[in-house]
Structure 1
Amino acid sequence: MLWRVAVRDLLATIRDRRTLNATIFMPLVMIPLLTLGLPFLMGNLIGGKQTERQKVGVIGTLPAPLRSMLESDVKSESGAVLRSGVTLVPVTDAMKAVQDGDVEAVLKPAQPMPTQAGGQTATLEVYGKLASMSSEAGAVGKVQNVVEAYNRSLTVDRLKTMGLDEQTLTPVRVQAIDATPEQARRSGMLAFLIPMLMLQFILSGGMATAVDATAGEKERGTLESLLVTPVRRSEVVGGKLLATTLTALISALFSVAGFVVTGFVVAQLRARQDGGSLASEMSSMMGGQLTLTLPGVLALLGIGLSSALLISALLIAISIYARSFKEAQTYIAPLSMLIVIPVIMLQFADFLNFSTAVYATPLIGSMIALLDTVKGTVTTPHALLAILGNLLGALLVSMVARRSFGREEIIFRN
């Protein structure tokens, strides 16, 4: 009887094409767009500013070597332009020229610029929209890099006159060697988004079934006919919980498929000849690859299943209290915040030391355990604690839902 109730609600869900889109197609499309498309877009935007020639105003006189360095392109060994130079134009009012958009930056020497090291230090005023990421990636950033290179060239020339070489400036060189585990390195900088997206799609996948099977049936008047049949209230709650959990798990499964697709695309980018471009490098660094061992897969499945049970029980318990479909959606909206807010904490997970008890916290412990699983650092006790916390929470919330189905003031609240 429990399975019959579940099939009844699942058929109602399958008939709604919008629900299928939210459950299947949205995870497959949105996850690659967020974890791969966004970094790729940022890389293209920043790389485009680097290879684009910007106008830079000049007030006063710049040394000829510095002007040449500012106007010259930086190229790779193959001849491709990595960073283009700037076009220097004379201006009279620095602030007005930048604010009106005539130039992206203005250079104004406060004192005569030196042509050799060891003399008087001069200040070069750089006017630009410093709060603008576009300006920082474009003209202002280029000017700062060129001035640093100019200073170094003057210092090197000064050392040569003293019989010293460039190595004198760096008596100790630092060679950084990445000791991060391979799986954690592959997961990328946006790994903290994976737990949020998985739980978010579990919520969105189960919400349609849960709301339609409770508040929707109350609104249509079909819930009363179900409750007068010879079916125990626990079977009704169990069937609806099963249907909601199955829908949520399907959404979670396709969200994992979305991460796998992202990882495959990142691997192809790394293997291509043009993988050294800024866009592909940012996609590889931030998007990452989802590579799991067998214990990691089992942990992911266990945490995902227990999370789906807990979220489904919450959806059923909340939706049965609502008078209508729209009212149920209003009550459920704050649940998204319970998933989004901990992501702020997960961004700084490397700085935090989580106690063992945190893993037993429903949903929050699951997000931390999922992040550990993606990075390959999850331990069996932590995974089991996260699963147990979710199961215990699901049991308690299911009991609340069972009690609500037995109260006429809730069933006939509309």
Structure 2
Amino acid sequence: MFEVFKKEILELLRDRKTLFFIIALPMLVFPIIVALVAFLTSQAGLKAQQQVHTYYIVNEQYADAFSEQVFYHKSFKKYQGDLKLDSVHALSEAVKLGQIDVGIFIDSDPREAIKTGKQSQWKVVFNDAKAINFTFNRINELANTSSLAVRSNALLELGVEPERQQAVLKPIVVSKVDTADKRENYGEKLGAFIPYLLLPLVLMGASYPAIDLGAGEKERGTLETLLLTPVTRSELVLGKFFTVLASSIACTLITVASLAIWVSIATRFISIDVITTAFSSVTSWDFLLIFALLLPVAAMLSSLVLAISIYARTFKEAQNYMAPLSMGIFVPIVISLLPNMELDTTTALIPITNVALAIKEIVKGTVDYGSIGLIFIASAALAALLLICCVRWFNKETVLFR
């Protein structure tokens, strides 16, 4: 078995394409993602600050102070064309045609409407599908300022003093006291995202060498030569399995190490509050625990992909079988994102889902080590079962020579 393992490892190290997917790609994934997030965040913020929108206000005489605020706002530019718009429909058509970016329809003077117990209805017309950043919020903020002024004057006329107005308008104030710290809040979101990166890379580290060691050997006609050696079939398949497992573990180790290194860089040198808050308290021990959780997953996937590769007649057929498996691994990850899905005695027994939930708990800082132990036992048991099936699979003539 050791000789088979040694032979396969040497051949694996000579394959530059496989080495790229096992070593180089996991090292590049996280710096690319961190750089991309930082770039897009900065560009989105810069674009939102610099973008100027052309506006048109219908009945602006009803709200002089508001119209003046919009006019002098750095994000808005008054329409200077010949259009005469007088309704919401007309504003909508102008927005659709690109003649204006945003239209504001004011139906009545709010100072007069409040005297009769009515509300002045203002409508903001814009194309939200074009993701015009913060347009509605900015206009709403300016409108609220005008609304507060009108309300304050109306209350003064009713004899309510300014210092009492807030208490009269809102006698009860409800505030939220969150028992979860920022790490737990952000970790809930980012921790659910990390398995999407880690688990497919673990599968990738196993699938590329497995295809070559199974279907590749069949296609080249070298499998028959190996079967003629004095090595038993069980030893032969175990040698191939440990080669695939070593490849997957190497890919896993590099992936987690890359994650730890680039998260450390991001928290120190890149100003992204979500990443900094979520990972500032994640220690080296936490990353080691994530790596340890992925080890039985690597063994499970190594057995599975090797069995598939042994069954396939050709290299191409094996690749076709791997595609659904690559998609299928996302299903248990998605399950971990379902509402109220938490790591407990039941979910700790669900393959892949349990690891995804555990990684999220580690990032949140709320990990239960009892559940971690249960995950190890369940994952190791399933990995052993899959390995036994793989060995038996390899011992069938109908599978080897189909």
* TM-score (norm: length of structure 2): 0.86
Q: For residues 262-301 of structure 1, what are the structure 2 equivalents within 5 Å?
A: 262-269=262-269, 275=271, 280-281=272-273, 284=276, 288-289=279-280, 291-292=282-283, 294=285, 296-297=286-287, 299-301=289-291
Moved more, 168-177 or 203-212: 168-177
Alignment-derived partner of residue 341 in structure 1 = 331
Alignment-derived partner of residue 155 in structure 1 = 151
Q: Distance in 2 between matches of 1:72 and 1:283?
A: 36
Superposition deviation, residue 127 in structure 1: 1.4
Moved more, 363-372 or 300-309: 363-372
- Are 1:105 and 1:127, in contact at CA under 8 Å, matched by a contact in 2? yes
Q: For residues 47-126 of structure 1, what are the structure 2 equivalents within 5 Å?
A: 47-62=46-61, 63-73=63-73, 84-89=74-79, 91=83, 92=85, 93-114=90-111, 118=115, 120-126=118-124
Superposition deviation, residue 328 in structure 1: 0.6
Report the count of equivalent residues. 389
Superposition deviation, residue 243 in structure 1: 1.1
Superposition deviation, residue 228 in structure 1: 1.1
Alignment-derived partner of residue 320 in structure 1 = 310
Rate the CA distance shift 1:389–1:150 in 2: closer, same or farther, 3 A. same
Q: Distance in 2 between matches of 1:147 and 1:192?
A: 39
- Are 1:259 and 1:290, in contact at CA under 8 Å, matched by a contact in 2? no
- Are 1:244 and 1:312, in contact at CA under 8 Å, matched by a contact in 2? yes
- Are 2:307 and 2:394, in contact at CA under 8 Å, matched by a contact in 1? no
Q: Distance in 2 between matches of 1:88 and 1:252?
A: 57
Which AA in structure 2 matches 1:339?
I
Q: For residues 235-254 of structure 1, what are the structure 2 equivalents within 5 Å?
A: 235-254=235-254
Q: Distance in 2 between matches of 1:347 and 1:33?
A: 24
Superposition deviation, residue 393 in structure 1: 1.5
Which AA in structure 2 matches 1:203?
L
Give the percent of matched residue pairs that are identical in Structure 1 and Structure 2: 25
Structure 2: unaligned runs, 5 residues or longer: none
Superposition deviation, residue 216 in structure 1: 0.8
Q: Distance in 2 between matches of 1:300 and 1:203?
A: 16
Alignment-derived partner of residue 142 in structure 2 = 146
* TM-score (norm: length of structure 1): 0.84
In the alignment, does 2:12 pair up with 1:13?
A: yes
Q: Distance in 2 between matches of 1:372 and 1:97?
A: 50
Which AA in structure 2 matches 1:213?
L
Alignment-derived partner of residue 347 in structure 2 = 358
Which AA in structure 1 matches 2:143?
V
Rate the CA distance shift 1:8–1:102 in 2: closer, same or farther, 3 A. farther
Rate the CA distance shift 1:204–1:10 in 2: closer, same or farther, 3 A. same
Q: Distance in 1 between matches of 2:45 and 2:152?
A: 31
SS at match of 2:79: strand
Q: For residues 360-399 of structure 1, what are the structure 2 equivalents within 5 Å?
A: 360-399=349-388
SS at match of 1:341: helix
SS at match of 1:180: coil
Which AA in structure 1 matches 2:301?
I
Moved more, 223-232 or 179-188: 179-188
Alignment-derived partner of residue 81 in structure 1 = none
Structure 1: unaligned runs, 5 residues or longer: 74-83
In the alignment, does 2:189 pair up with 1:200?
A: no
Which AA in structure 2 matches 1:30?
V
Q: Distance in 2 between matches of 1:257 and 1:114?
A: 64
Superposition deviation, residue 88 in structure 1: 2.1
Q: Distance in 1 between matches of 2:142 and 2:342?
A: 42
SS at match of 1:356: coil
Q: Which has the higher helix share?
A: 2
Q: Which protein shows a greater Rg?
A: 2
Q: What is the RMSD computed on CA atoms of the aligned residues?
A: 2.8
Which AA in structure 1 matches 2:71?
E
Rate the CA distance shift 1:381–1:46 in 2: closer, same or farther, 3 A. same
- Are 2:256 and 2:291, in contact at CA under 8 Å, matched by a contact in 1? no
Which AA in structure 2 matches 1:310?
M
Rate the CA distance shift 1:23–1:114 in 2: closer, same or farther, 3 A. farther
Rate the CA distance shift 1:290–1:10 in 2: closer, same or farther, 3 A. farther
- Are 1:356 and 1:382, in contact at CA under 8 Å, matched by a contact in 2? yes
- Are 2:253 and 2:291, in contact at CA under 8 Å, matched by a contact in 1? no
In the alignment, does 2:22 pair up with 1:23?
A: yes
Rate the CA distance shift 1:129–1:372 in 2: closer, same or farther, 3 A. same
Alignment-derived partner of residue 222 in structure 1 = 222
